[in-house]
Amino acid sequence: MRIAYGIHGYGRGHATRALAVLPELSARHELLILAGGDAFNALHEHYPVVRIPTFRYHLGKGGKISACRTLIRTAPKVMDL
Residue 13's pLDDT is 84
pTM given for the model: 0.72
Residue 80 has pLDDT above 70, yes or no: no
Say how many domains are in the chain: 1
**What is the Cα–Cα distance from 68 to 25, expressed in whole angstroms?**
39
Name 8's bridge partners: 36
Top mean pLDDT of 31-35, 56-60, 62-66 is at 31-35
pLDDT at 55: 76
Of 67, 46, 53, residue with least CA distance to 8: 53
Q: Are 72 and 57 in contact (CB under 8 A)?
A: no
How far, in Å, CA of 36 to CA of 75, rounded? 18
Domain coverage including residue 27: 2-80
